[in-house]
């Protein structure tokens, strides 16, 4: 069985390195997009098994990425990883758009892996 593909859409290099390291260590195939426009393009090309996105992104926000993904690829789960709190209205809007899960930054690597495993 080929490894599951995870698309990470994040503009913070440190967070990218951390997510990439943790997920590759768990055997996932990771792909990186550093802005919302590229992220949306990569969703269509890769059709990943899971999308992990930040909310605050250049060009297109994580909410716009979620809306696009859920409209065009509804079976792909989306996890938002953000410094915004769970009660923030932007995060609530994300859930209304169909976000499957939310992880607050800074995050616990074990929690991240467990949440990812729920979807892939």
SS3 content of the chain, % helix, strand, coil (to 5): 45, 20, 35
What number is the average pLDDT over the span 74-93?
83
Q: Please tell me the pTM assigned to this model.
A: 0.94
- The residue whose two tokens read 């495993």 is 117
pLDDT-based confidence at residue 94 (cuts at 50, 70, 90): confident
Beta partners for residue 50, in sequence order? 6
> Residue 106: is the preceding peptide bond cis (ω within 30°)?
yes
Number of compact structural domains in the chain: 1
At 82, which CATH number?
Answer: 3.40.50.2300
pLDDT above 90 for 90 = no
Q: Tokens at residue 100, please?
A: 């499957």
Q: Domain limits at 72? A: 5-119
Name the strand (E) or helix (H) holding 79.
Answer: strand 78-82
Furthest-apart CA pair in the chain: how many Å?
Answer: 40
């Amino acid at each position: 069985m080929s490894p599951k593909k995870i698309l990470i859409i994040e503009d913070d290099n440190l967070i990218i390195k951390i997510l990439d390291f943790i997920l590759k260590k768990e055997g996932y195939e990771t792909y990186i997009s550093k802005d919302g426009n590229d992220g949306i393009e990569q969703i269509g090309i890769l059709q990943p098994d899971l999308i992990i996105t930040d909310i605050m992104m250049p060009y297109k926000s994580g909410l716009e990425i979620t809306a696009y993904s859920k409209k065009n690829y509804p079976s792909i789960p989306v996890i938002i990883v953000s410094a915004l709190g769970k009660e923030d209205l932007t995060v609530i809007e994300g859930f209304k758009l169909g976000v499957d899960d939310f992880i607050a930054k800074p995050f616990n690597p074990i929690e991240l892996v467990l949440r990812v495993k729920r979807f892939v």
